[in-house]
Amino acid sequence: MKVVQQSQYGPADVLEVVEHDTPAAVDGRVRVQVQARALNPADIGTRAGAFAAMTPGLTFPAVLGWDFAGVLLDDATVGGSVGTLAAGTRVAGFVPWFGEALGAGSYTEVLVVDPTWVAPVPDALSTAEAAVLGMNAVTGAHAADMVADLLGVAGGSDALAGRTVLVTGASGPVGAAAVLTLVGRGARVLATGSRGDDESVAALGAEVLPRTDAAGIAAAAREAADGGVDAVFNAGLASHELLAAVRDGGVFVSATRGYMPTAERGVTVDGVHVEPDPERLVALLDEAVAGRLPVRVAKEVPLEDAAAAHALVEAGGVRGKVVLVS
């Protein structure tokens, strides 16, 4: 089987295609014939060494990749409301690459995973679309949970009533899932997204702020929220200036722990730590089928061209997710 690995940190061309034996079945694990893998910013940062301090135990060669979608090669007992999935079922999910699956990601044709990492894919979604939503959508939903927890409110459909939250990057799958979840809990959501995406962001239930720099977004949010929002979920801007949007004693949550500002004015600052959550992913995939959670595949690229795909994303200008397919 084909595997894309790297033997050192560096630019896109450190990625190389090699042949490995197809893994045999392992007790307590299941195999997935991977057909699609979303290329995420975390893949690029990890490849380049930006997160080396977070992965001191990483050894080379290493295989990148969080998100995956494909077909089960073994029966999988997922548990909970998902139950047991038969071999041949289309599934999606993501591997906890910074944790248990360190260095053993989805840039491979057959992936060995814990059965609790997978969720069934509805017929109405393509495999590439499902791959986009795995880690991204669950991260956004978990971020919304985190905002509520840090604000000290209980769960429920109106738990965040009367609260205002700013979400950046709301046109991407992480930010969109956060907006959808926050609005579902009664929050007033102010949001920013990519140029041309105002309509889709507004359709999530958010009030769209003008696109400007981080300082301008913070100022607009403070004005709209009469002195400051209760919380920010930053899923789109690598800038500490967004902290100014938050009222004293509020909350700032970042999708990436590397982009967290220094706490001040009693603001709680934290980053999302996400683990596989198949029941949540099932619900989010259903939201995508219903048209409430947008999913955009920009381009499908063969797995063996992963280096070129990384270079394409790093060059900028790609709207949506590049997906590595096999």
Q: Which domain holds residue 82?
A: 2-125+295-325
Q: CA-CA distance, 180 to 288, in Å (whole number)?
A: 11
In a shared domain, residues 143 and 39:
no
SS3 59: coil
pLDDT at 239 exceeding the cut of 80: no
Report DSSP letters for 82-123, one per residue. Answer: TEEE-TT-EEEEE--TTTTTTTB-S-BSEEEE-GGGEEEPPT
In a shared domain, residues 267 and 140:
yes
Can you give the pTM of this predicted structure? 0.92
Q: What is the pLDDT of residues 144-195, one digit of tens each?
A: 999 999 998 876 778 898 999 999 999 889 999 999 999 999 999 999 988 7
User: How many domains does the chain divide into?
Assistant: 2
282 belongs to a structural domain = no
284 belongs to a structural domain = no
290 belongs to a structural domain = no
Q: What is the pLDDT of residues 247-301, one digit of tens each?
A: 999 999 998 776 788 889 999 999 998 899 999 999 999 999 999 999 999 999 9
Query: Token match 């195999």: residue?
Result: 31
In a shared domain, residues 107 and 68:
yes
279 belongs to a structural domain = no
The predicted pLDDT at position 176 comes to 95
In a shared domain, residues 91 and 164:
no
In a shared domain, residues 110 and 184:
no
286 belongs to a structural domain = no
The predicted pLDDT at position 238 comes to 67
In a shared domain, residues 90 and 142:
no
Residue of 35, 82, 5 whose CA lies nearest to 277: 82
In a shared domain, residues 267 and 142:
yes
In a shared domain, residues 300 and 201:
no
The predicted pLDDT at position 112 comes to 97
- Domain of residue 309, CATH code: 3.90.180.10
Mean pLDDT of 309-325: 94
In a shared domain, residues 57 and 94:
yes
The predicted pLDDT at position 259 comes to 72
Query: Token match 């590397």: residue?
Result: 258
Exposure of 201 by Cβ count < 10 A (0-12 exposed, 13-18 middle, 19+ buried)?
Answer: buried
Q: CA-CA distance, 163 to 170, in Å (whole number)?
A: 18
In a shared domain, residues 145 and 105:
no
The predicted pLDDT at position 240 comes to 84
What is the percent of the chain with per-residue pLDDT over 70, rounded to a whole number? 99
Exposure of 283 by Cβ count < 10 A (0-12 exposed, 13-18 middle, 19+ buried)?
Answer: middle
280 belongs to a structural domain = no
Q: What is the pLDDT of residues 71-120, one digit of tens each?
A: 999 999 998 989 999 999 999 999 999 888 889 999 999 999 999 999 99
Dihedral sign for Cα atoms in the order 320, 106, 236, 238:
negative
143 belongs to a structural domain = yes
The predicted pLDDT at position 94 comes to 96
In a shared domain, residues 119 and 238:
no
User: Pairing mode, if any, of strands 188-191 and 15-19?
Assistant: unpaired
- Domain of residue 267, CATH code: 3.40.50.720
In a shared domain, residues 152 and 80:
no
Helices 127-150 + 173-184 axis angle, to 10: 50
199 belongs to a structural domain = yes
Taking all residues of the chain, what is their mean pLDDT, rounded to a whole number? 93
